[in-house]
Amino acid sequence: MSPTVELVKRTVEKHGTKRESLMPILQDIVQEQRYLTDEAMVEVANLLDLSAAEVYGTASFYTFLDLKPRGENIIRICKTITCYMKGKDEIIKAIEDRLKITIGETTSDGKFSFLDANCIGWCHEGPAMLINDKVYTKLTPKKAVDAINEYYS
């Protein structure tokens, strides 16, 4: 049995095989493997008696369920209207310059992936971003770059 299949089996045992277990199962797999492989999604579909298309559809709908290998740390900048109006483009530019990648890419050292996300619930303190699970609010270009630099020290 491949490590992926083993992980899927373990995760399904933990959450059960009901349809509503699909999201927590996918989230746990992403947490362990950093992204969802086709093998994992097919195995989840088999065990939950769903079609692979349904599992893939759910996974691709939620931006937090990665379908590609990502860097060690994931930056997600909010692209929704309030953050947009509060200057998120300037923040994106500063991060792109700091990491020498454009949004959607991973740095060559594998340290960061830089993604955008829909509203992360901090509109009142925007522009906002997450680095992994940590929230950074009221961003300025400098504040965003300083946050990234912390991960290099």
Among 112, 114, 122, 136, binds ligand FES (CB under 6 A): 122
| 64 makes contact with ligand FES (CB under 6 A) | no
| 91 makes contact with ligand FES (CB under 6 A) | no
What is the closest distance, in whole angstroms, from the C-beta atom of residue 76 to ligand FES in the complex? 10
Token couple for 36? 């969802």
Count Cβ neighbours within 10 Å for each residue of 131-147 and write b for 16 or more, e otherwise: beeeebbebebeebbeb
What is the rounded CA–CA span in Å between residue 63 and residue 149?
25
How many residues line the site for ligand FES (CB under 6 A)?
12
Among 128, 130, 131, 139, binds ligand FES (CB under 6 A): 128
Q: Considering the complex, state which of residue 55 and residue 94 has its C-beta at the smaller distance from ligand FES.
A: 94
Q: Considering the complex, state which of residue 23 and residue 119 has its C-beta at the smaller distance from ligand FES.
A: 119
Give the count of beta carbons closer than 10 Å to the beta carbon of residue 19.
11
* Strands (E) located in the chain: 73-78, 112-117, 129-131, 134-136
Interacting residues with ligand FES (CB under 6 A)? 78, 80-83, 119-123, 126, 128
